[in-house]
Amino acid sequence: MSRMAGADNLVSPHGHSSERRGTVTVELAIILPVILFLLFSILEMGFMIKNRAELGQAAREAARLGAVGSTPARMNEGVNSSLSGIPANDVVRSYEHRQWDEETGAWGDWTQLGVNGTENDANASDQIRVKLEYDHGLLVPGLMAPVLNADDDGNVHLSAASVMMRE
């Protein structure tokens, strides 16, 4: 009995061997989770870096306003206007100042920035520090939470600070 050459490699109507189609399916099943993980990791890191950069810009803007004598209320407005992708109510703010101590030759302790008339209560040449904190919610907490050290709610704590000299 003679056999036809190539009878073992059955060809589908589309010209692909059934063995090759099965191989492609297995390869896709192996590589697809890796590709999706990389895609979501890139998106997650991109959003997180964007939010951290926004916090940094908002802190610099508020410190600049404080350095020229603006009140904490006006500094809040500066922070709010600098935040485009972060809800302003979710940002924890801290405005502080400290003086140089001539006797000890060192900076004093940080104290909360207050109001003195129409300006803040820092003296000329005091340091003004603005600290902003935000809990960034992960897009896919189960995927990136262990890698990014997220809390139980899937949030990563982001913070930014800026220090400027009062003019």
What would the pLDDT profile of 48-79 be if each residue is shown by its tens digit?
A: 999 999 999 999 999 999 999 999 999 999 99
What distance in Å separates the CA atoms of residue 128 and residue 99, rounded to the nearest whole number?
9
What distance in Å separates the CA atoms of residue 40 and residue 77, rounded to the nearest whole number?
34
Helix (H) or strand (E) holding 148: helix 141-148
Of the listed ranges 10-19, 55-64, 110-119, the one predicted with least confidence: 10-19
The pLDDT value given to residue 2? 47
Average pLDDT on 102-116 reads: 97
What distance in Å separates the CA atoms of residue 149 and residue 85, rounded to the nearest whole number?
22
DSSP state of 138: P
pLDDT tens for residues 18-42? 667 788 889 999 999 999 989 999 9
**Which amino acid is present at 94?**
S
Closest CA to 137 of 123, 119, 126, 151: 151
Task: Examine the pLDDT at 116 and tell me if it is beyond 90.
Answer: yes
The pLDDT value given to residue 1? 46
The pLDDT value given to residue 14? 57
